Structure 1
C-alpha cells in the first residue's frame, strides 16, 4: 500500500493549474485566486504620518523633559500642515501628515497644558527621532508589487488591493467540480428510508467542502449501483468540469462499479493507501469526448464511509484542488501538542485521529474512531497525524492539524 505522502505526491504530480482568468470587481473577488500580480498605484501611506494623537515636535527642542513649546498649528487627519518652526509644536491627530520640520510625535498622554495657557504644551518626556511616525510607503510602494499571482483572496488581501488604489483584479476562473454519490442504500434527507437504507451525509459534507475552497460545485445526485448508470454519470460530469469526485463504489466488490466505469470512460489508478480511515482511493481521468483534443476531466473516487470520505477529501482532494486553482504553495499548518489520552492499539497504517483541544492546552480523543462515525469530526476541531505502528500515551507530544487549516 502507498503511504500518505506517496499518494499525495502522485496526485499533485498530475495537477496543472487552470489557465483561464477573468477580471472582477473587488466585491466579486473574495475566495478567488489572483491570476496576475498587481502593483500599487500609490505609496501607502502617501506621506509620513502619525500613529498617535499628540504633538508633532522637533527633537532638538525637546531634549529636556518638561520643555514648553508654543502650539503653532492644528493638523487633523486629511489636512496638511505648514513647516514647523523652532520652538513650536503642532497639535496632531492619528493619520495626519507630519509637518515639514517635525521629526517626532509625542502622544498626548506624555504632554500637559501649563495652567492658564491656551497656546502652549509641556512635553514631559524627551522623544527619540521618528517616534510614533509611520513613514511614507512603509506599507506599499507605488509601482511595486502589492499582491502576487497565486494569492488566495481573503478579506485582508482585498483590503491591501483597495489601499493600493485598485478597483478590479484579474482572477483565475473557479475550478469546476462535479460530484455524485453511489449506493442503492442512499436516500436524501426528507425522503422515506427503505429497509436497509441510510441518509446520504457525504453529499452535503463534500459539496460544502468544495464550496468552502471556492469551487464551482455541481451536484449530480445519487447514481444507482449499475455500471451503465455510473458510466453515464461520468460522461455527463466530464463535459464541463475540471474534476469529478465520487464517494462509494471504489472497492472491488460486485456492486462497486467505479473501477470498470472509469476504465471504460478514461483511465484509472486504484490505490490501497496505508491510512486509517480511508484506505481505498481512486485517481484517474475521464474523456470529455471521443476526440482526444477535447481533453479529460480528472477523477478522484473517495470511500463511502462518512468519516473516511471527509478525511480523505481533506488530505488528498483539497491539495489537488489548490494546485488546480494555481494557489501559492504553503506548508500545511500543524502543531506539536500534548495528548491527554491513550491510544495503545497502534495500527500498521498512518492513522488520523479526530480530536479536540481542551481547556488545559492538551488534546482529547473522540471515543469512537470508526470510519462511519461522522460525529467524531463534528465534535472535534482537528486531526492527530499518528505514524504507523506508533502508540500514544497521555503526555506524549503529537502532530495536530486543525480543521481550520484544512478547509480554506
Structure 2
C-alpha cells in the first residue's frame, strides 16, 4: 500500500512513487448515471454489462447459399433437392429432410436438421435442386455460426470501468441495451495564473505571453471524457486565487492550475493553497515537469493539482499524473501508461536519479521492429516539439542517457487513457 501524499513531505520523489501517492487524494468516485447508448461514446461503465441473450441468438448461416441436411454416414452428394427457403428474419418451419437442402441467406437461423452451409458461388442452381461444384471440398459444419459463440447468455460482456469505444457500443447494442449506467464525467476546474498571461485574440503586450496551457488542458481533458469548468486567467493576487480555489473546490471534482506553484516571490497559488487546504508533495524527479504541487481543497477535500507553467511540462505531467487520477475518480484502479520498446536512432540525453521524457517519433521498419528518434530541441517551452511527436521517450532514473542502437521505452501519445 502506497503512502499518502501527506506522509511524504517535500522530499524529491520518483515518478512512480508520486503517481501512486496521488491516488490517495481521491476519497470517493464521482458517482454514476443512466444515459442513452447513443450518448455513451467515451464514457466509462459503472456496472458490468451482462448478456441477457446469446449472441448470436440462433445458430445461423455465415454465407448466402444452401443449408444441407447432410446424413451423418454418407459423403457429400452432388445433387441436393430443395425443400424450401430460410431467409434472414424468418424461421424455416419444420425440419429439413435428410439428404435435402434449403436456400438460405446470411444471418438466417439454421433450420432443424441442417448442419452445413455451402456458398452460392459453389452451386449450380435449378428450380427444384442444386448441384454442388467439387463436393469433396465441403466440410461438415462449415459456414455456420453457433448460437452464443460470441457471447453466451449470462456472461459478462463488458466489465465495469470499460471505456466505451465504437466497438463496445456495437457490442452493447447487440445485447439489446438502449441505456447504460456510466460514471459521471469528472468536473475539472482549470485556470491559468500570471499577470503576463494574455487570452488569445487580444493584443499582446511586450512583456506578455498568450495563454497556451489552458487550451492544451481543455483538449487533454476532453480526450479523457472530463467536463471542463473554465475559470479563465487569474492575476498574481493571493486573495483572488484563494477565492477562485475555494469556489472551484465546491463546484468540481478536481482542480487543475498551471504555473504559480514554485517558491518564487510572485507565485501565489502555492500560498493560497496552504491557506485554503492541505499541501502535499511538490518536488518530483522528472524533466520536464517541475515544479508541481498537489493537495486537497476546502471542506469537500477536492483534489488539487498545480501543474508547471511551461506548456510541454503541462502535457507531460498530465499524461503521467492527471490521467490516472481521472481513472481513480471514475472508480478504477489506475493503469500505468502504455509502453512499447523501440531502438534509439539518435543519442538521448538523460541524468541518473531523474526520469526524462523526451519528445520522439517512432516508426516501424519492414521487419516489424520499432525505432525512435527525438523531435529535436527539447526545451519545455518548445511546443512545436510536442506537435511533431507521436510518443514520449521514457528514460528512467537509472539511465544516464542512451546511444543509437540501444533499446528504450516509449509511451505512445495517441489515445492517452
The answer on whether the counterparts of 1:59 and 1:128 sit within 8 Å (CA) in structure 2 is no
Deviation at 1:368, TM superposition (A): 0.8
Aligned to 1:374: 383
Aligned to 2:275: 264
1:3 aligns with 2:14: yes
Give 5+ residue unaligned stretches, structure 2: 1-11
Q: How does 1:286-365 map to 2 (within 5 A)?
A: 286-287=297-298, 292=299, 295-327=300-332, 329-344=334-349, 346=351, 348-358=353-363, 360=365, 361-365=370-374
Aligned to 1:199: 210
1:395 aligns with 2:400: no
Aligned to 2:103: 91
Aligned to 1:255: 266
Q: How does 1:57-68 map to 2 (within 5 A)?
A: 57-60=68-71, 64=75, 67-68=78-79
The answer on whether the counterparts of 1:238 and 1:297 sit within 8 Å (CA) in structure 2 is yes
Residues 234-265 of structure 1: CA deviation (Å, up to 9, x unaligned): 11211111110000011111011122110100
Q: Cα RMSD between the aligned structures? A: 2.1
Q: How does 1:19-58 map to 2 (within 5 A)?
A: 19-58=30-69
Aligned to 2:113: 101
Give 5+ residue unaligned stretches, structure 1: none
Deviation at 1:34, TM superposition (A): 1.6
State the alpha-carbon separation in 2 of the partners of residues 331 and 58 from structure 1. 53
Q: How does 1:185-196 map to 2 (within 5 A)?
A: 185-196=196-207
Deviation at 1:25, TM superposition (A): 1.1
State the alpha-carbon separation in 1 of the partners of residues 330 and 151 from structure 2. 26
Which secondary structure does the structure 1 equivalent of 2:281 belong to? strand
TM-score by length of 1: 0.91
Which secondary structure does the structure 2 equivalent of 1:60 belong to? coil
The answer on whether the counterparts of 1:16 and 1:323 sit within 8 Å (CA) in structure 2 is no
Which secondary structure does the structure 1 equivalent of 2:292 belong to? strand
Residues 135-156 of structure 1: CA deviation (Å, up to 9, x unaligned): 1122233344333222222222
Residue-pair matches, total: 399
Aligned to 2:394: 385
Moved more, 359-368 or 54-63: 54-63
Moved more, 119-128 or 217-226: 119-128
Deviation at 1:165, TM superposition (A): 1.0
State the alpha-carbon separation in 2 of the partners of residues 283 and 130 from structure 1. 61
Cα–Cα, structure 1 residues 94 and 330, in superposed 2: closer, same or farther, change >3 Å? farther
The answer on whether the counterparts of 2:393 and 2:409 sit within 8 Å (CA) in structure 1 is yes
Moved more, 156-165 or 36-45: 36-45
Q: How does 1:161-180 map to 2 (within 5 A)?
A: 161-180=172-191
